[in-house]
């Protein structure tokens, strides 16, 4: 099922995957023991310095910070209750009293948009964390151990890959979350999280796996083994820092992707629902009214697009900073 | 090559079984009454319950159920809706529309994406380059339904230059706007991918050799450069076609296209379990086969990877 | 002030016909710089050499000496930006190519002057068959039919001694071994019967035994066709058998030019001397290898005076101050060293 926002982003790895060569520099040899030297920075350290110089980074970081504050402390932006509606005010256009007007049920759109940030962003961030942690862990296992472990895990990932994203999410959500069943806020949110993670982990797994496979052959891994390092230590100290880059880039874009995905699912009526307020929920409520009151769509959609854009821009900036070929 | 094909087909089978089983379990095997919610908000008619139980062996364990279901499916019998409609019929009415939409979307995204990508790949850092970079970022960030709504409102309602919804006999011209919407994100990816590919290959040694041979620039770019640069782009297009053939719930919904995406969505909402599973099985099969085709296509395009 | 080649040279029109005679291919006081973010690198600083029909000029130098960039400038395949030609001429049959139109230059490529590169695997297009790439020259530049082009291409592949040329026509570059690939590239470059062939490190990426075969092939082809051959390399061993004359480059200039025998017997520049001395010798087994201390200079910051002075074992104060001109030493010898005579008459 192609909802390209979600479909092709979820199943298409980022077009350019930085191949990370080298990592934490080996300590200088031949220096007297008490010689003062700089901490070896490694690729991540260099990347941070590069990142700081990019305007793209600062713009996106500021926007994201703004949204995070909005999500955490909506009362800083509005004191109006987003759930309180007066049908007499239904679909009243923006004015001095209510900057974004009132929605179908007479609720203040501005307040809802501000409060909606929390659900939208929370879901996206948590889903990304879950996807990346689980997918990444499985990817490392598959890449590092190879042979039957890899074959098994890859086939399992293929099964989930075969499921069209939107369809799979819809099926999962309708099975467990029958509309009108009055599920609690937490339950609804966790179900959406669950479906996003369950369907999203294969891509993270693949990215991590190919990253590990590429790095595994590196000489310094062999050197570490020859020195007697156990598998655990090799994974933690040597493999991980060098394989993180592609996944890091992907995860920033993934947050943006998931914001869009949540909105799409809510739009279809299977994601978050009342009483939860999110941008997706707001957009879905406008479905029948968009032709007469387009402003109802405009505001939540704009916030949505800006938020996604900010994360995608951040991903771009991070990718450019981490790409050793651009050095 | 034949062995590779065989191996891939064999790998396909457990994945197919795994995915379809997963869906089947989700729809039919969740604990409780298997018919709860399968017939809309009402209880299923007894006749239907008996019929389905008998046909799909629902009183036996999950594996037998799955087995008998798949047996029917592979014989071409996709079952019936609770209202008695043949799912075969639903699919054969809806799928062609989805395919038409998919082709239009592919054509639009390839045309615009490739043009933008090739032009900016050859000549970077100009006004056009920055325009393309910014607009693609924007398109990637826009969820499809937002694009759909906005364009539908702008082109259909406000300016009236495109039909707001698609009529019953789905004409290609009507599908231009929905196709654009459906392909918008991929278009952005294609533009960026081809831009990078061309820019990277422009500095390649074989391009230098082609120039040193005294070939006209037109040929150097049009034959040597393009043929190499387009490999990742074409494989992306193939993958995208596979995804597009899975239908789009969102686009079909907004523009009222009677396609497979909308049918399955409708089935999910109205709790038509049998329809859901049947359609999803078909979609999964199409997707897996398309993936296989893409792999073959890639091998055909790049002679270096033919001997796996 | 340029380092001009102070020697005899045929003046244009010297044969009395009124047409410029002179050399087949001449590089005259060429200057090229690379404009980068970190500054301007003076990559070529007044290089002059020439090659005639039937002779082999070897251009010898380390990485960064400018030997490849000179070749690229001759062919017109220099990346501009960041490279810019800031002076000099490149004359082919007496006409300055740098002043020609792009189309005129293009026509010379392949037909007048051809070039082969170091790494045949990356120099050949991986997605087209070798046969296609050779035949392309015949089809596109000569307008031959597919069938005729194929026939001629197979002849070329035979010429470079690729076994089963007919069968190999439809093979891809990655399916060839290194030596075969290089032969294929040679075939491709000679398809249009060029008058000059520039070989940029043609054997550097190959095994030693294959190196010898390829060098023999080049020598044979050159003899048969009476081509001018410019052989660019850093390997003194490769050059000895094939070259007629050698031009040694350092930091973007020619520091010595001589007949091959003279150069090996009595080098006239400390750099050449150092290079020759650094060749490991079997009768010196067990002794420490001799090297030229130091590293080639950064072209962003070429040392004052003689660019070799920081590494020269015979450095004198004048070397730090004055740039030595390329002085004639009699015959066809020249050396850019203030003390060239002394170096020649050493041991």
pLDDT digits (tens, 9 = 90+) for A86-123: 777 777 777 777 777 777 777 888 888 888 888 888 88
CA pair distance B254, B249, nearest whole angstrom: 9
Highest mean pLDDT among A33-37, A112-116, A268-272, B273-277 belongs to: A112-116
CA pair distance B226, B163, nearest whole angstrom: 37
Greater model confidence, A39 or B199 = B199
- For residue B30, what pLDDT is reported? 59
Chains contacting B with at least 3 CB pairs below 8 Å? A, C
- For residue A184, what pLDDT is reported? 74
pLDDT digits (tens, 9 = 90+) for A284-294: 888 777 777 77
Whether the CB of C259 is below 8 Å from some CB of chain B: the reply is: no
DSSP letter (8 states) at residue B101: H
Contacts of C124 in chain B (CB under 8 A): 206, 209
Highest mean pLDDT among B37-41, B65-69, B212-216, B237-241 belongs to: B212-216
Q: Which of B142, B227, B233 is nearest to B190 (CA)?
A: B233
**Chain A interface test: which of B140, B262, B268, B276 (most A C-beta within 10 Å):** B140
Does the pLDDT at position C129 exceed 90? yes
Specify the DSSP element, H or E, that contains C114.
strand C113-116
Q: Does the structure's ipTM exceed the value 0.95?
A: no
A15 closest CB neighbour out of B189, B253, B271: B189
CB count in 10 Å sphere of residue B139? 20
pLDDT confidence tier of residue C65, bands split at 50, 70 and 90:
confident
CB count in 10 Å sphere of residue B46? 8
Whether the CB of B10 is below 8 Å from some CB of chain C: the reply is: no
> Do the chains A and C touch each other, judged by at least 3 C-beta pairs below 8 angstroms?
no
B19 closest CB neighbour out of A7, A11, A163: A163
pLDDT confidence tier of residue C27, bands split at 50, 70 and 90:
very high
pLDDT confidence tier of residue C161, bands split at 50, 70 and 90:
very high
- For residue B1, what pLDDT is reported? 67
Q: C114 CA to chain B: closest CA distance, Å?
A: 7
Whether the CB of C158 is below 8 Å from some CB of chain B: the reply is: no
Measured between alpha carbons, how far is residue A198 from residues A95, A176, A191, A260 in Å?
Answer: 43, 14, 10, 17
What Rg, from alpha-carbon coordinates, does chain A have?
23
Does the pLDDT at position C15 exceed 50? no
Q: B214 CA to chain C: closest CA distance, Å?
A: 5
Residue C83 sits at the vertex; the CA angle it makes with B200 and B212, to the nearest 5 degrees, is 65
- For residue B206, what pLDDT is reported? 95
DSSP letter (8 states) at residue A11: H
Q: How many CB pairs under 8 A join B and C?
A: 69
Instruction: State whether B227 and C122 contact (CB < 8 Å).
Output: no
Residue C262 · residue C333 · CB < 8 Å:
yes
* E-strand stretches of chain B: 38-41
Measured between alpha carbons, how far is residue B77 from residues B20, B83, C30 in Å?
Answer: 16, 16, 80
Contacts of C172 in chain B (CB under 8 A): 303-304
pLDDT confidence tier of residue C1, bands split at 50, 70 and 90:
very low
A4 closest CB neighbour out of B182, B265, B283: B182
A159 closest CB neighbour out of B22, B239, B268: B22
Residue B176 DSSP SS3 = helix
Instruction: State whether A15 and B265 contact (CB < 8 Å).
Output: no
- For residue C16, what pLDDT is reported? 40
CA pair distance A254, B74, nearest whole angstrom: 37
- For residue B246, what pLDDT is reported? 81
- For residue C10, what pLDDT is reported? 38
Residue B170 DSSP SS3 = coil
Contacts of B231 in chain C (CB under 8 A): 127
Contacts of C128 in chain B (CB under 8 A): 224, 227
Q: C297 CA to chain B: closest CA distance, Å?
A: 26
- For residue C235, what pLDDT is reported? 84
Instruction: State whether C123 and B213 contact (CB < 8 Å).
Output: no
- For residue C288, what pLDDT is reported? 82
- For residue A325, what pLDDT is reported? 55
Q: B146 CA to chain A: closest CA distance, Å?
A: 7
Does the pLDDT at position C210 exceed 50? yes
Axis crossing angle, helix A185-216 with helix A240-268, rounded to the nearest 10: 150
pLDDT digits (tens, 9 = 90+) for B244-281: 888 788 888 888 888 888 888 888 777 777 778 788 88
> Do the chains B and C touch each other, judged by at least 3 C-beta pairs below 8 angstroms?
yes
pLDDT confidence tier of residue A229, bands split at 50, 70 and 90:
confident
**Chain B interface test: which of C118, C125, C128 (most B C-beta within 10 Å):** C125
Contacts of B196 in chain A (CB under 8 A): 15-16
Q: B187 CA to chain C: closest CA distance, Å?
A: 26
- For residue C100, what pLDDT is reported? 93
Does the pLDDT at position C11 exceed 70? no
Q: Flag the least confident range among A138-147, B86-95, B126-135, B266-275.
A: B266-275
Contacts of A260 in chain B (CB under 8 A): 141-143
- For residue B40, what pLDDT is reported? 61
Residue C252 · residue C40 · CB < 8 Å:
no
Percent of chain A whose pLDDT exceeds 70: 82
Does the pLDDT at position A177 exceed 70? no
Whether the CB of C80 is below 8 Å from some CB of chain B: the reply is: no
Does the pLDDT at position A19 exceed 60? no
Chains contacting C with at least 3 CB pairs below 8 Å? B
For residue B298, what is the nearest residue in chain C, using CA coordinates? C127
Whether the CB of B226 is below 8 Å from some CB of chain C: the reply is: no
The overall average pLDDT reported for chain A is 76
- Segment A23-49 mean pLDDT: 49
């Amino acid at each position: 099922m192609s909802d390209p926002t979600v479909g092709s982003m979820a199943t298409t790895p980022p077009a350019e995957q930085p191949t990370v060569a080298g990592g934490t520099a080996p300590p200088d040899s031949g220096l007297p023991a008490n010689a003062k030297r700089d901490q070896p920075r490694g690729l991540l350290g260099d990347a941070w310095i590069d990142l700081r110089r990019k305007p793209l980074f600062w713009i996106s970081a500021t926007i994201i910070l703004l949204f995070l504050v909005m999500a955490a402390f909506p009362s800083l932006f509005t004191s109006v209750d987003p759930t309180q509606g007066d049908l007499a005010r239904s679909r009243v256009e923006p004015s001095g009293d209510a900057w974004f007007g009132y929605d179908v049920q007479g609720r203040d759109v501005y307040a809802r948009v501000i409060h909606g940030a929390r659900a939208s962003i929370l879901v996206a961030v948590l889903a990304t964390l879950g996807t990346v942690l689980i997918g990444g862990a499985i990817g490392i296992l598959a890449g590092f151990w190879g042979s039957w472990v890899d074959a098994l895990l890859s086939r399992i990932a293929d099964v989930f890959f075969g499921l069209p994203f939107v369809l799979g999410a819809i099926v999962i959500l309708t099975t467990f979350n029958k509309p009108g069943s009055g599920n609690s806020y937490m339950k609804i949110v966790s179900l959406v999280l669950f479906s996003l993670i369950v369907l999203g982990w294969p891509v993270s797994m693949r990215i991590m796996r190919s990253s590990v496979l590429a790095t595994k052959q590196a000489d310094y891994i062999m050197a570490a083994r020859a020195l007697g390092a156990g598998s655990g230590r090799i994974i933690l100290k040597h493999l991980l820092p060098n394989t993180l880059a592609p996944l890091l880039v992907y995860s920033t874009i993934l947050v943006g992707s998931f914001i869009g995905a949540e909105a799409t699912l809510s739009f279809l009526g299977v994601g978050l629902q009342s009483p939860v307020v999110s941008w997706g929920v707001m957009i879905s409520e406008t479905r029948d009214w968009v032709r007469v009151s387009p402003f109802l769509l405009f505001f939540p959609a704009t916030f949505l697009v800006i938020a996604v854009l900010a994360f995608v821009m951040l991903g771009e900036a991070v990718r450019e900073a981490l790409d050793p070929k651009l050095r | 090559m034949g062995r590779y094909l065989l191996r891939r087909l064999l790998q396909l089978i457990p994945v197919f079984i795994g995915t379809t089983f997963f869906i089947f379990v989700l729809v039919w095997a969740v604990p409780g009454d298997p018919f709860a919610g399968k017939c809309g908000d009402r209880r299923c008619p007894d006749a239907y319950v008996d019929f389905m139980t008998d046909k799909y062996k629902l009183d036996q364990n999950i594996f037998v159920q799955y087995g008998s279901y798949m047996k029917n499916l592979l014989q071409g019998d996709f079952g019936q809706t609770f209202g008695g409609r043949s799912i075969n019929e639903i699919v054969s009415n809806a799928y062609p529309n989805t395919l038409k939409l998919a082709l239009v979307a592919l054509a639009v995204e390839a045309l615009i994406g490739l043009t933008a990508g090739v032009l900016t790949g050859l000549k970077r850092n100009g006004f056009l380059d920055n325009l393309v970079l910014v607009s693609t970022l924007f398109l990637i960030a826009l969820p499809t339904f937002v694009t759909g709504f906005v364009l539908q409102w702008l082109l259909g309602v406000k300016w009236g230059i495109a039909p707001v919804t698609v009529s019953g006999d789905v004409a290609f011209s009507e599908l231009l706007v929905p196709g654009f919407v459906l392909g918008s994100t991929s278009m952005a990816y294609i533009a960026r991918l081809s831009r990078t590919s061309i820019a990277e290959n422009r500095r390649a040694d074989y391009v230098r050799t082609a120039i040193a041979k005294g070939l006209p620039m037109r040929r150097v770019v049009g034959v040597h450069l393009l043929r190499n640069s387009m490999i990742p782009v074409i494989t992306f297009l193939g993958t995208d076609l596979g995804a597009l053939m899975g239908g789009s719930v969102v686009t079909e919904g907004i523009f009222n296209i009677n396609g497979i995406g909308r049918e399955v969505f409708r089935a999910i909402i109205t709790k038509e379990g049998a329809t859901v599973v049947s359609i999803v099985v078909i979609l999964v099969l199409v997707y897996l086969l398309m993936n296989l085709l893409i792999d073959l296509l890639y091998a055909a395009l790049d002679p270096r990877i033919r001997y796996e | 002030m340029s380092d001009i080649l102070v020697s005899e040279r045929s003046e244009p029109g010297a044969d009395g016909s009124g047409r410029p005679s002179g050399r087949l291919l001449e590089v005259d006081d060429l200057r090229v710089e690379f404009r980068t973010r970190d500054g301007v690198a003076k990559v070529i600083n007044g290089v002059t050499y020439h090659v005639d029909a039937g002779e082999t000029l070897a251009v010898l130098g380390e990485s960064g000496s400018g030997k490849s960039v000179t070749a690229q400038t001759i062919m017109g395949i220099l990346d501009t930006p960041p490279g810019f030609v800031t002076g000099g001429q490149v004359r082919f049959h007496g006409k300055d190519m740098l002043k020609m139109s792009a189309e005129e230059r293009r026509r010379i490529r392949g037909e007048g002057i051809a070039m082969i590169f170091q790494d045949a695997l990356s120099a050949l297009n991986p997605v087209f068959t070798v046969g296609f790439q050779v035949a392309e020259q015949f089809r596109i530049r000569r307008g031959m039919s597919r069938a005729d082009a194929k026939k001629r291409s197979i002849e070329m592949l035979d010429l470079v001694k690729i076994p089963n040329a007919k069968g190999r026509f439809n093979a891809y570059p990655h399916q060839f071994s290194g030596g075969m690939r290089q032969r294929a590239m040679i075939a491709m470059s000679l398809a249009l019967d060029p008058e000059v062939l520039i070989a940029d490190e043609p054997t550097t990426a190959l095994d030693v035994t294959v190196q010898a075969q390829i060098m023999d092939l080049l020598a044979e082809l050159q003899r048969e066709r009476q081509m001018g051959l410019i052989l660019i390399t850093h390997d003194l061993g490769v050059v000895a058998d094939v070259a007629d004359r050698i031009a040694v480059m350092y930091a973007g200039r020619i520091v010595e030019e001589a007949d091959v025998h003279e150069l090996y017997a009595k080098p006239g520049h400390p750099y050449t001397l150092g290079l020759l001395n650094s060749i490991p010798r079997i009768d010196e087994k067990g002794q420490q290898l001799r090297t030229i201390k130091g590293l080639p200079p950064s072209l962003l910051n070429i040392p004052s005076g003689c660019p070799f002075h920081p590494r020269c074992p015979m450095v004198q104060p004048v070397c730090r101050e004055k740039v030595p001109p390329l002085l004639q030493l009699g015959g066809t010898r020249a050396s850019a060293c203030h003390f060239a005579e002394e170096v020649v008459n050493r041991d």
